[in-house]
Amino acid sequence: MMEQEINQLNSQSELIDQNVKEMNELKNSLEEINKKECKEILVNIGKKIYLPVEIKKKELVVEVGNKCYVNKSVEDTLKIVDEQLGKLVIAKGQITERLQELESEIGSMIEKEGKHNHECNCDDDCEGGKCENCECED
């Protein structure tokens, strides 16, 4: 069960990393649009195919949820991107924290198992099991 949780957390962590990368690329593009007096940009329409587009005004159409769109300035959109990046960083931290907890639990289990599955080194004839001379904590 722990292995399953670890795999799931690692998958979520990779997905977050990919989203952070994409959000940073978006942020860089928005900053370029905002600071340049560019009149034309290339817009990716899919599968690395680009369309030259003339910028008439620096106002973006942003989906805010449930296929609801609003007009936003580049500055306002950058704020949204920063908020989303912050949430992703928090989620990544929570996942990392949980992975460390699981790693610690596994380490404790291995340590505990190692203490109880050892060969007894006493001189008694206890056949390697736990005996009254065993130095285990339990």
Question: For all residues of the chain together, what is the average pLDDT?
Answer: 86
Q: Residue 77, Cβ neighbours under 10 Å: how many? A: 20
pTM of the full structure: 0.71
Beta strand segments in 2-138, E: 40-46, 49-54, 59-65, 68-73
Q: What is the pLDDT of residues 16-43, one digit of tens each?
A: 999 999 999 999 989 888 887 767 888 8
Indicate the pLDDT class of residue 138, thresholds 50, 70 and 90: very low
How is the chain split into domains, by residue range? 2-101
Q: Residue 16, Cβ neighbours under 10 Å: how many? A: 20
Selecting from 1.10.287.370, 3.40.190.10, 2.40.50.140, 3.10.20.30, what CATH number does the domain 2-101 have? 1.10.287.370
Q: What percent of the chain clears pLDDT 70, i.e. is strictly above it?
A: 80
Q: What is the pLDDT of residues 40-74, one digit of tens each?
A: 888 889 999 999 988 888 899 999 889 999 999 99
